[in-house]
């Protein structure tokens, strides 16, 4: 293997909406991350994430998988192998680092095992560290409800607490910190709002060392290695590898043409008031009737609805509204019909938006 190898790989993980892309955008502004390739995993039929990473798009590689939970094994391995090939044939001059942003529902063990355990990749890459983000507002509830979130914390070298600015009770934050230290006593615990939480503090962790992690982590990684042993070269066994909770699903909503702000607002309000606790994540890019040239970006994370932001222009030139919702136990049909009602594309037997607004007896979704 030629010089420049092994390339350090950092894994950025954290539950849905914890703030991975936000932190990544901040870090990518640092010249220390020049020559960094970013691999992001998208799920669902519409891709949004790559539009929201503010870097020259040639540095971003998007893995598109239909699955919520996996930074899917085979595709990640193929992408990394392709990068090696491009470097060796001179199509890329140099890569100083790779950052992999996992999906929020990812079990991190297979991702780490892809890098540490794959016979071909182990020569080219070294797993440098795992950075796990935990949202200070939703963190405790998320750890209670989702085992993936506990695993993400347990495997971390650095844990970054986000959204402390939104947390109302400092005692809650302290309780969360204590819990994070219990799950992973060895990781450094940092605050996203602290300017010292920079590239130097998060990356260059040294070679990832499972021996410094809990017995659980060593067991999970061991199970992955055993699982891998049977699956090298076999990318098609997704059903068997598919581990996410079938109660969790993603809904992709697309609308061509501009939508009035009031319609989007009402759609989100109704969804949140009727089914807020079932809405794990909502994100979208919206073409507004009032200002179609500047896309509106909306984010909801469990009980938080973040203030919408505006982009100066359409990142990929393609206008329209793309929303992704990740829900727990929510019928697909309900979401689609409600969205159709507010974008004036009623399906059969569904009251249209005007009827919903004007008729107090109309109950959406019924
Ligand atoms: N107030 C506040 N908002 C934050 C912070 N970090 C992230 N956000 C907001 O949280 C929302 C979700 O952030 P993202 O960076 O998209 O989260 P993510 O982890 O990449 O989301 P997924 O990829 O969907 O799992 C956005 O509206 C961000 O602006 C923070 O520290 N404070």
Per-residue pLDDT of the chain (366 residues; tens, 9 = 90+): 667 889 999 999 999 999 998 999 899 889 888 889 888 876 655 566 666 666 544 566 766 555 555 555 677 888 888 888 888 898 888 889 999 998 888 888 888 888 888 888 888 999 999 999 999 999 999 999 999 999 999 999 999 999 999 998 999 999 999 999 999 999 999 999 999 999 999 998 888 888 889 888 988 888 887 776 555 444 444 444 445 567 888 888 999 989 999 999 999 988 888 888 889 999 999 999 999 999 999 999 988 899 999 999 998 888 999 998 999 888 878 889 999 998 875 444 445 555 555 544 444 433
- The whole model's pTM is what? 0.86
Q: How far is the CA of 19 from the centre of ligand 1 (A)?
A: 3
Pocket of ligand 1 (CB under 6 A): 14, 16-22, 49, 104, 162-163, 165-166, 192-193, 281, 283, 299, 301, 306
Give phi and psi for 352, each to the nearest 5: -80, 180
3-state secondary structure of 264: helix
Task: Tell me if domain 7-241 and domain 248-358 are identical in fold.
Answer: no
Question: Smallest Cα–Cα separation from 132: which of 113, 110, 115, 107?
Answer: 107
Looking at residue 243, its pLDDT comes to: 53
Looking at residue 245, its pLDDT comes to: 64
**Bridge partners of 250?**
326
Looking at residue 4, its pLDDT comes to: 81
Which residue has the least CA distance to atom 1 on ligand 1?
A: 163
Token pair, residue 22, equals 């936000």
CB proximity list for 29: less than 8 A, separation 6 or greater: none
> Mutation test of ligand 1: which of 16, 19, 71, 193 has the most ligand atoms closer than 8 Å to its C-beta?
19
Q: How far is the CA of 312 from the centre of ligand 1 (A)?
A: 19
Q: How far is the CA of 146 from the centre of ligand 1 (A)?
A: 18
Token pair, residue 287, equals 């073409």
Using the Cα atoms of residue 169, residue 283, residue 60 and residue 149 in order, give the sign of their dihedral. Answer: positive
CA 172 – CA 139 distance, rounded (Å): 10
Strand 36-42 and strand 125-135: the pairing is unpaired
Looking at residue 82, its pLDDT comes to: 87
Which residue has the least CA distance to atom 7 on ligand 1?
A: 19
What is the number of other CB atoms lying within 10 angstroms of the CB of residue 170? Answer: 9
Give phi and psi for 309, each to the nearest 5: -120, 160
Which residue has the least CA distance to atom 8 on ligand 1?
A: 19
CA 110 to each of CA 45, 77, 89, 221: distance values in angstroms, whole numbers, following the listed order: 23, 11, 29, 8
Please give the CATH superfamily to which domain 7-241 belongs.
Answer: P-loop containing nucleotide triphosphate hydrolases (3.40.50.300)
Using the Cα atoms of residue 51, residue 57, residue 62 and residue 66 in order, give the sign of their dihedral. Answer: positive
Give phi and psi for 135, each to the nearest 5: -80, 125
CATH 1.10.15.40 for the 248-358 domain, yes or no: no
Looking at residue 53, its pLDDT comes to: 66
Where do the domains of the chain lie? 7-241, 248-358
Radius of gyration (Cα) for the chain, nearest Å?
21
3-state secondary structure of 74: helix
What per-residue string of b and e applies to 265-293 under the rule 16 or more CB within 10 Å gives b? ebbbebbbeebeebbbbbbbbbbbeeeee
CA 31 – CA 28 distance, rounded (Å): 7
> Mutation test of ligand 1: which of 299, 309, 322 has the most ligand atoms closer than 8 Å to its C-beta?
299
Token pair, residue 313, equals 């222009």
CA 67 – CA 43 distance, rounded (Å): 5
Question: Smallest Cα–Cα separation from 264: which of 301, 308, 294?
Answer: 308
């Amino acid at each position: 293997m030629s010089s420049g190898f092994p390339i350090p790989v950092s894994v950025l993980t954290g539950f849905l909406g914890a703030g991975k892309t936000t932190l990544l955008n901040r870090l990518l502004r640092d010249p220390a991350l020049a020559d960094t390739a970013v691999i992001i995993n998208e799920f669902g039929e519409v891709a949004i994430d790559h539009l929201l990473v503010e870097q020259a798009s040639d540095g971003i590689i998007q893995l598109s998988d239909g699955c919520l939970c996996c930074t899917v094994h085979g595709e990640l391995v193929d992408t990394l192998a392709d990068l090696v090939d491009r470097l060796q044939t001179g199509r890329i001059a140099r890569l100083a680092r790779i950052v992999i942003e996992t999906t929020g529902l990812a079990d991190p063990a297979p991702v780490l095992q892809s890098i540490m355990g794959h016979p071909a990749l182990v020569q080219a890459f070294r797993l440098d560290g795992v950075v796990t983000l935990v949202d200070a507002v939703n963190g405790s509830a998320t750890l209670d409800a989702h085992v993936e979130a506990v695993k993400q914390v347990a495997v971390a070298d650095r844990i970054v607490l986000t959204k402390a600015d939104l947390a109302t009770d400092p005692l809650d934050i302290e309780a969360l910190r204590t819990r994070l230290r219990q799950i992973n006593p060895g990781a450094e615990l940092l605050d996203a709002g602290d300017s010292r939480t920079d590239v130097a503090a998060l990356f260059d962790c040294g070679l990832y060392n499972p021996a410094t992690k809990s017995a659980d982590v060593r067991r999970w990684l061991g199970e992955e290695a055993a699982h891998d042993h049977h699956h090298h070269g076999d990318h098609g066994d997704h059903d068997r590898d598919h581990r996410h909770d079938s109660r969790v699903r993603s809904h992709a909503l697309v609308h061509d043409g501009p939508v009035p702000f009031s319609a989007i607002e009402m759609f989100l309000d109704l969804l949140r008031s009727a089914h807020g606790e079932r809405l794990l994540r909502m994100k979208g890019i919206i073409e507004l009737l009032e200002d179609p040239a500047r896309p509106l970006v909306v984010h909801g994370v469990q009980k938080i609805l973040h203030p919408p932001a505006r982009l100066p222009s359409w990142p990929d030139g393609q206008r329209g509204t793309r929303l992704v919702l990740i829900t727990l136990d929510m019928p697909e049909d309900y979401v689609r019909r409600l969205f159709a009602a507010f974008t004036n594309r009623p399906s059969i037997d569904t009251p249209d938006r005007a009827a919903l607004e004007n008729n107090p007896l109309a109950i959406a979704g019924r």
